[in-house]
């Protein structure tokens, strides 16, 4: 059957992945409409406007690489840009490439239905629009569905309540207020020092302590700017070859190469240069060699003990039941120092959980209470699947993604799902974890190439083979089994779907490294998109 589509592609989400997909589909001569729920572009950087929000990747590689002029023109003021800078960067990209004319802001996609007979996707929005397209490109972000634990009594709280990932545009006034923060992941660790400076008192409720590396933020001076801009080709090559997509070289040493004094010196240097360099520029076996990991973990615990004056607080902050790297370590901006302030107290809820939210604050399992004027939930995300299953996306057999993934999310290459033909997910389950912009750019280009291949070879439909999805799922599990991920108390990690009660526990990210992932994509493409089936639909070519 021949039907008219409104657009070749409908892209959902105007963050890094969606904006890049719009640019690339246009470049390939496809028509596209991008639908975004937020009131502006930015994705993560639109929603996460909590105080202290900033990147943990270094600015000059947390950006698009496809346009040399953009790279040369944009000036990153700091090593780790904050939310307003990130928002203005993505806004600048939208304007510079004239993207806004193809974007519907403030519009949420509610449903998407596949119709095999017409080879179309029908997309319905909360604005009452129904649009038809050939290729559906959800780019809703792996960490965008905020998770708020369903604490009993939550609605009874009489003060102000905020979720970090849905922070209001208006400034929140903390002055003279007692604030309680739940959550000490990457978000809580950024937020806590900022709130501490403004609130009359801050209570931090910590379930699991983290190994927080000092970020060592600072301005990028003119000479550094010049050097980075002159060196971009080499920097991107480095990024594409580094396991998490960072501009870092391997340390070139393993733990057994050095004696105790030298090990200490190397770790001290890593701590001083800051950020994830502590993990990747010290010892190449830090995340795999038990002895190296033990020494590095103890090194961080000693740092915490040296920074935090109160002995009991320092011990609560020092992780002892999971190895460094078994959860995603946050980067801190004077995080541990914050606990030396008189107006900050740390409450250990590891064995004394939050039993209820009350009218005036929180009650713990032992009956103790903590009153607050403001409650902040920095409690993470329903990672990888949450934002996708929040949309009612139904494939060829009428089943939704949520139903198909009830026993665990599965994709091929983090991009395609059997039964959902011509749908290309950017950053879905099974996508690599690492520096997102360069990773997603590669996936966008691969997807655009795949669509080109489909069209130029006279096909209408591309979909993942079930065997390929099985193999990809097995690979994700094998990689997790070979790492320290999820060990000890880190078992709750969102990498494994284990932070949301009732969610199936499967690895949600490919942890085989960015170069490994790129090699997998290339190999599939070089072999005529192995792992995929192509077919024709009689008379289905869109007019």
The footprint of ligand NA7 (CB under 6 A) covers 143, 149, 182-188, 207-208, 328, 349, 354, 378-381, 492, 494, 499
The DSSP line for 177-230 is -EEEEE--SHHHHHHHHHHHHHBSEEEEEESS---PEE----B--HHHHHHHHH
* Cβ 165 to ligand NA7 shortest distance, Å: 7
Nearer to ligand NA7, 421 or 427 (CB): 427
Check the CA dihedral 257-261-264-270 and report its sign. negative
Asked if residue 405 lies in contact with residue 385, where contact means CB atoms within 8 angstroms, the answer is yes
427: left (phi over 0), alpha (psi -120 to 50) or beta: left
Please list, in sequence order, all residues whose beta carbon lies within 8 angstroms of the beta carbon of residue 398, skipping any fewer than 6 positions away.
none
- Rounded to whole angstroms, the Cα distance separating 107 from 13 reads 10
* Cβ 328 to ligand NA7 shortest distance, Å: 4
The residue of the chain with the least Cβ separation from ligand NA7 equals: 185
Asked if residue 123 lies in contact with residue 109, where contact means CB atoms within 8 angstroms, the answer is yes
* Cβ 346 to ligand NA7 shortest distance, Å: 12
Residue (of 277, 271, 8) closest to 135 by Cα position: 8
Please list, in sequence order, all residues whose beta carbon lies within 8 angstroms of the beta carbon of residue 224, skipping any fewer than 6 positions away.
none
- Rounded to whole angstroms, the Cα distance separating 104 from 90 reads 16
* Cβ 73 to ligand NA7 shortest distance, Å: 27
* Cβ 287 to ligand NA7 shortest distance, Å: 16
Spacing of C-alpha 429 from chain mean position: 11
- Rounded to whole angstroms, the Cα distance separating 479 from 482 reads 5
* Cβ 185 to ligand NA7 shortest distance, Å: 2
* Cβ 295 to ligand NA7 shortest distance, Å: 23
Cα separations in angstroms, 339 against 24, 187, 307, 384, 529: 47, 17, 9, 33, 53
Nearer to ligand NA7, 10 or 189 (CB): 189
User: What b/e sequence results for 278-307 when a residue is b if at least 16 CB atoms lie within 10 Å of its CB, and e otherwise?
Assistant: bbbbbbbbbbebeebbebbbebbbebbeeb
Nearer to ligand NA7, 115 or 489 (CB): 489
* Cβ 58 to ligand NA7 shortest distance, Å: 15
Nearer to ligand NA7, 183 or 395 (CB): 183
Structural tokens at position 112: 């998407």
* Cβ 108 to ligand NA7 shortest distance, Å: 22
Nearer to ligand NA7, 395 or 432 (CB): 432
Nearer to ligand NA7, 254 or 491 (CB): 491
Nearer to ligand NA7, 65 or 499 (CB): 499
Nearer to ligand NA7, 137 or 490 (CB): 490
Residue (of 446, 448, 443, 449) closest to 430 by Cα position: 443
């Amino acid at each position: 059957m021949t039907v008219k589509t409104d657009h070749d592609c409908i892209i959902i989400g105007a963050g890094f992945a969606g904006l890049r997909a719009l640019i690339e589909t246009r470049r390939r001569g496809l028509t596209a409409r991008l639908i975004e729920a937020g009131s502006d572009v930015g994705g993560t950087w639109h929603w996460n406007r909590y105080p202290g929000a900033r990147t943990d990747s270094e600015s000059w590689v947390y950006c698009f690489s496809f346009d040399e002029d953009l790279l040369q023109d944009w000036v990153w003021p700091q090593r780790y840009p904050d939310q307003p800078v990130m928002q203005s960067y993505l806004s600048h990209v939208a304007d510079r490439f004239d993207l806004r004319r193809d974007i519907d802001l403030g519009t949420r996609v509610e449903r998407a239905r596949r119709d095999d007979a017409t080879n179309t996707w029908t997309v319905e929005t909360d604005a009452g629009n129904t649009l038809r397209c050939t290729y559906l490109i959800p780019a809703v972000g792996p960490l965008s569905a905020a998770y708020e634990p369903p604490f009993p009594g939550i609605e009874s709280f009489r003060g102000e309540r905020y979720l970090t990932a849905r922070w209001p545009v208006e400034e929140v006034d903390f002055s003279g207020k007692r604030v309680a923060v739940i959550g000490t992941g990457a978000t809580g660790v950024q937020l806590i020092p900022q709130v501490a400076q403004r609130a009359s008192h801050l209570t931090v409720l910590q379930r699991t302590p983290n190994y927080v590396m000092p970020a060592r933020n600072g301005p990028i001076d003119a000479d550094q700017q010049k050097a980075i801009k002159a060196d971009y080709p080499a920097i991107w090559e480095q990024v594409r070859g580094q396991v998490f997509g960072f501009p870092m070289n391997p340390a070139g040493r393993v733990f057994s190469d050095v004696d105790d004094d030298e090990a200490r010196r190397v770790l001290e240097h890593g701590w001083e240069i800051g950020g994830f360099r502590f993990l990747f520029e010290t010892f190449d076996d830090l995340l795999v060699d038990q002895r190296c990991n033990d020494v590095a973990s103890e090194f961080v615990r000693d740092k915490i003990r040296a920074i935090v004056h109160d002995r009991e607080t320092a011990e609560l902050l020092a992780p002892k039941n999971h190895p460094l790297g078994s959860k995603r370590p946050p980067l801190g901006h004077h995080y541990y120092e914050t606990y030396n302030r008189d107006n900050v107290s740390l409450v250990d809820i590891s064995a004394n959980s939050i039993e209820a939210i009350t009218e005036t604050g929180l009650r713990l399992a032992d009956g103790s209470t903590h009153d607050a004027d403001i409650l902040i939930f920095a409690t993470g995300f329903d990672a990888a699947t949450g934002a996708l299953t929040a949309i009612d996306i139904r494939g060829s057999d009428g089943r939704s993604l949520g139903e198909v993934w009830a026993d665990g999310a599965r994709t091929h290459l983090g991009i395609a799902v059997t039964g959902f033909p011509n749908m290309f997910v950017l950053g879905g389950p099974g996508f690599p974890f690492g520096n997102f912009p360069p990773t997603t750019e590669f996936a966008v280009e691969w997807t655009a190439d795949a669509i080109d291949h489909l069209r130029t070879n006279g096909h209408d439909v591309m979909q993942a083979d079930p065997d390929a999805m099985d193999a990809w799922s097995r690979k994700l599990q094998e990689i997790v089994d070979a790492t320290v991920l999820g060990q000890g108390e880190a078992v709750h990690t969102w990498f494994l779907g284990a932070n949301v009660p009732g969610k199936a526990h499967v690895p949600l990210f490919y942890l085989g490294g960015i170069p490994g992932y790129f090699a997998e994509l290339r190999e599939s493409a070089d072999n005529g998109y192995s792992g995929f089936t192509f077919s024709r639909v009689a008379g289905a070519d869109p007019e």
